[in-house]
Amino acid sequence: MKTHTLLMPLDMHLHLRDAVMLENVAPLTAYSFSGAIVMPNLVPPVATLDDVVAYKERIMAAVPNDYFEPYMTLFYKNYDKAFLESVAEEITAIKLYPAGITTNSEGGVSSFDIEEMRTTLQAMSDLEIPLCVHGETDGFVMDREAEFMSIYELLATSFPKLKIIMEHITTKAAVDMLDKFDNLYATITIHHLILTLDDVVGGMMQPHLFCKPIAKRPEDLDALLSVALQAHPKVMFGSDSAPHPQHAKESCGCAAGVFTAPIALQLLCEVFDQFGKLDNLQDFVSDNAQRIYGICPEFKEVTLEERPFVVPANYGGVVPMFAGETLSWAIESID
């Protein structure tokens, strides 16, 4: 059977939630990944040094037997430089959410007034703390990311030494931004390398494929594939794996989020192999992120093989993407 080995896989955008959900899902990522950028949008959000330290302790308690590093983030607020200096050693990035645009983002940024944000963003630039951004407006749902490009341009030109990560990009417009500014980078999810909006709502609504930002058009999918498969040096894998209880997904108010953590590497192998680009997967899933963030993850060697793998119906009450379906790659060993 064909096999493929990945060294120190990294998930550069991950939701672990908290309490029982954290205990259920954190081991699934820790099993196959060396580390992950952990999102701070809890209730209340992770916004102080004590919050960061306590949340990391809860994560590590949930994965005591795995070699895994949670790279912690703060929920963006207008912090002063003294505070950022005090917390810099405990965080890898700060995550900015436009207010109310996604799960638990009500306390996010409501106005992108550069002068109001200058103290914080200049301090982040000086301290070399990357800014991760959920880049959507509150406009028409299919246009939200494209409409946000002007804000990325404003941030990138106002703070040219600030490393800005366009999170979970979904559009050709975002792909086109990558080469316009030296300080713009991006994460791409596995589900946005597979799905278009037609897969989500083209027939019967598929709640476990519904996420924000929503899957877009075929031409957007093609653009994402083009940079991911070539392992463009400014893109990296970030699952945006977002667990919700089954009842919250299978309801009239379907929660936004696709749960891919336990099957992400299998799906990545499937996609990259389909296009004859397996040799580029190492850069996409680890090496680019190490260079962009300047991190040195825990050593882990994950070998996958091309054989049928049936996705479980649920993991601890959370239904994954492609539940019950058969993938063509499976994890063979982890060292």
Catalytic residues: 240
Which residues face 237 on adjacent strands?
Answer: 188
CA 152, 15, 199, 236 torsion-angle sign: positive
Q: 3-state class of 14 per DSSP?
A: strand
Say how far apart CA 169 and CA 189 lie, in whole Å. 8
192: nearest Cα among 288, 30, 321: 321
Any residues with CB less than 8 A from the CB of 41 and at least 6 apart, and which? 15, 75, 95, 97, 102, 103, 104, 105
CA distance 54 to 296: 23
DSSP strand E in 181-227: where?
184-188
Cα gap 297→322, rounded to integer Å: 29
Query: Nearest-5° angle of CA 8, CA 24, CA 6?
Result: 15
Non-local CB neighbours of 54 within 8 Å, separated by 6+ positions: none
Spatial separation of the C-alpha atoms in residues 169 and 158, rounded to whole Å: 21
Strand order in the sheet with 93-96: 73-75, 93-96, 131-133, 164-166, 184-188, 235-237
